[in-house]
């Protein structure tokens, strides 16, 4: 359960500074017991992902993510194979998602992808960038009409910190938006090979960028 909540934060479903829903509501939404949820929240609190505030305006809030981002960065630097393992898997599942999306998409799927690209172009903060980037990739996976592929895409993206989060620099959404538009164009043209090829190139660019960041002192 803690991993599921971490993935929601990494994907931008819940942003830094946001408050999680009330315990009863969140437990019902995730179909888990309140005790299981409390244990997961404690794990996230210990890892620096959330803070619990008391009082009338209290609740469980997402932190600025500095502590978990730096801890993740150190783990990746100590294990040379960890990043490649995650990105190899991500390339495999997201190429497949793009391939099938080109064959199975609906007009509504294309609208969702286009909307996420437009929102990405206006992103001015790391959380907004991460949120809209994730929405595009999940829209592609949803268009593949494979619940297992969608779950795999969400899982692997939830394990990787955004390079922007690690560097602490302003996002530059135009470059990613251009790559997303290339993927969308191939999907719209029902070209599965090109869609998969462009998705792979996009992810490999992120792999190289993130690897260079992790090597910095």
Which pLDDT belongs to residue 158?
77
d(CA 168, CA 187): 33
Looking at the whole model, is its pTM more than 0.95?
Answer: no
d(CA 195, CA 199): 6
Which pLDDT belongs to residue 113?
98
**Domains, the chain:** 2-64 (1.10.10.10), 67-214 (1.20.120.530)
Are 129 and 116 in contact, with CB atoms under 8 Å apart? no
- Which tokens belong to 50? 């959330």
- Which tokens belong to 133? 């980037």
Can you tell me whether residue 50 is helix, strand or coil?
A: strand
Phi, psi dihedrals of residue 20, rounded to the nearest 5°: -65, 155
Which pLDDT belongs to residue 166?
58
Which pLDDT belongs to residue 130?
82
Are 189 and 42 in contact, with CB atoms under 8 Å apart? no
Which pLDDT belongs to residue 167?
56
Mean pLDDT by 10 residues, the chain (217 residues): 84 84 90 92 92 88 85 79 90 97 98 96 82 93 96 84 58 81 98 98 90 72
Sign of CA dihedral 187, 147, 179, 110: positive
Which pLDDT belongs to residue 213?
75
Where do runs of H (alpha helix) occur along the chain? 2-10, 23-30, 34-46, 66-78, 80-104, 107-121, 126-143, 147-157, 163-167, 173-188, 192-214
Which pLDDT belongs to residue 144?
98
Identify the bridge partners of residue 52 per DSSP, sorted by sequence position.
60
The residue among 140, 154, 135, 149 whose CA lies nearest residue 184 is 140
- Geometric angle at alpha carbon 156, from 201 and 148, rounded to 5°: 100
139 CB-contact burial (10 Å; exposed 0-12 / middle 13-18 / buried 19+):
buried
């Amino acid at each position: 359960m803690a991993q599921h909540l971490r993935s929601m934060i990494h994907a931008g479903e819940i942003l830094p500074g946001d408050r999680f829903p009330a315990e009863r509501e969140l437990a019902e939404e995730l179909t888990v017991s309140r005790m299981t949820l409390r244990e997961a929240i404690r794990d996230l609190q210990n890892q620096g992902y959330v803070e619990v505030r008391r009082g009338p305006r209290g609740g469980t809030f997402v932190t600025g993510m500095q502590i978990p981002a730096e801890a993740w960065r150190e783990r990746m630097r100590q294990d040379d194979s960890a990043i490649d393992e995650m990105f190899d898997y991500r390339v495999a599942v997201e190429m497949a998602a793009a391939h099938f999306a080109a064959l199975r998409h609906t007009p509504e799927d294309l609208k969702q992808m286009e909307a996420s690209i437009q929102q990405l172009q206006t992103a001015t903060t790391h959380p907004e960038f991460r949120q809209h980037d994730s929405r595009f990739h999940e829209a592609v996976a949803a268009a593949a009409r494979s619940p297992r592929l969608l779950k795999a895409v969400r899982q692997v993206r939830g394990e990787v910190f955004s390079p922007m989060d690690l560097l602490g620099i302003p996002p530059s959404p135009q470059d990613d938006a251009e790559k997303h538009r290339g993927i969308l164009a191939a999907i719209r043209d029902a070209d599965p090979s090109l869609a998969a090829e462009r998705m792979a190139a996009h992810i490999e660019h992120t792999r190289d960028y993130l690897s260079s960041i992790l090597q910095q002192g």
